[in-house]
Amino acid sequence: MLATVSFVFGILLATIVLVVVRREPEVVGAAPKPTTLGWCTLAFGLTAITAFAVAMWLTPRSNNSGLGLNLISITLAFAAVVIGVGNLIRRDRHWPTWVGLVAGLTPAVFWIAFAAGNILSFGE
């Protein structure tokens, strides 16, 4: 249940960021420099992958020690993916967008595979 709330909150966070930053002028050709959305993608993606790595390191230590970091990882990973894709659609293909998108996709793909395994009962 908490993972679902984190996922929904991540999508909501990305939507809010996209709406707030929408006021920036849209670029006709390639963007001359990284945009605010590119830097947001980078920040969310790097924070998500860092929280994911630390949570995986803490998990064997005790029962729920990494739970909060896992929820942060879910939230920020999906926010980074949505913002990154939105930024690519706006033609910002600079390094902060790509690095943030790849960093956000890493835990997002893991969490999607984990959810699919639990739904299809591969975990039993």
- pLDDT, tens only, 46-102: 999 999 999 888 776 666 677 788 899 999 999 999 999 988 888 888 899 999 999
pLDDT digits (tens, 9 = 90+) for 10-35: 889 898 888 888 766 655 566 578 88
pTM: 0.83
Domain presence at residue 69:
yes
Quick check: is 85 in a domain?
Answer: yes
Exposure pattern of 65-80 as b/e (b: 16+ CB <10 Å)? ebeebbbbbbbbbbbb
The answer to whether residue 29 is domain-embedded is: no
Residue 30 lies in a domain: no
The domain of 86 spans 35-124
Looking at the structure of the chain, the number of domains it has is: 1
